[in-house]
Amino acid sequence: MKLFLNYLSLHLKISLEYKSSFIMTIISQTLAMFVELFTVYALFLKFKLLDIYNSYELLLGFSTLWLGFSLIELFARGFDHFSHIIINGNFDILLIRPANLFIQICGTDICYEKIGRVLVSLFIFIYSSIKIISHFTFYKLLLLVLMVIGCMVVIFSIFIIGATICFVTIQGLEAVNIITNGTRQVCQYPMGIYKKAVRVFFTIFIPVTLVNYYPIDYLTGRTDNILYVFMPILTIIMFFISKFIFNFGLRKYCSTGS
């Protein structure tokens, strides 16, 4: 933990070297998120889906995904840009250091420019939760926390799997960006609008439905099944699978040379 705190301090100092650029990047990143939200809302108005889904449900699902995604981009961007570490030969240096490899990879790229998206999505998350939940209970509060953590686990797992591919290809693949950004694009809409096959895919292979689709049913009172509260915990399975795949790829890694 001390090592990661040192990384946080170091990257903050680097970001603040050019304050104007740093602030402008935060603003542009935040505006981009609002453009995405406006697009989603406009499509819902166009196809009259707001007659089926409450606008606050839309906001909660959207903010959950963006909050989890932005937090992982903030603290674990190193896995998303893992190909740069491989190409530059810096991964070999990380391997010989007596420190946790995952923390070192995360610490190579901490993107403070995402802080604006984190704060705005957190505000939308809290606001929509207050509007949706008529009566707060311990389980509902617990579920809100688990939704964010579960979303972070899913996105982090995707980043890890994408990084593993770099052991073979060296260069990052655009297919990985399709999975990461594609998942965000698809799942920022309520999963109920998609066909069953799509919902099954995003339940079993990329379990985003476990952190927004089913939990929102519990929060809105459409179901009182207590098992829905603990569904986000199941995302840990994806993390262990991704970690196993990464370790397998690591054993096959033969360095990129000088």
| Segment 112-123, tens digit of pLDDT | 989 999 999 999
pLDDT at 4: 86
pLDDT at 156: 95
d(CA 16, CA 5): 17
Regarding pTM above 0.85, the answer is yes
For the record, the structure tokens of 142 come out as: 């617990």
Residue 72 pLDDT: 94
Please list the ranges in the chain whose pLDDT falls under 70: 47-52, 170-175, 256-258
181 and 159 Cβ atoms separated by less than 8 Å? no
Contact 68, 155 (CB under 8 A): yes
CA angle, 129 as apex, 124 and 135 as ends, to 5°?
160
CB of 107 within 8 A of CB of 7? yes
Residue 257 pLDDT: 58
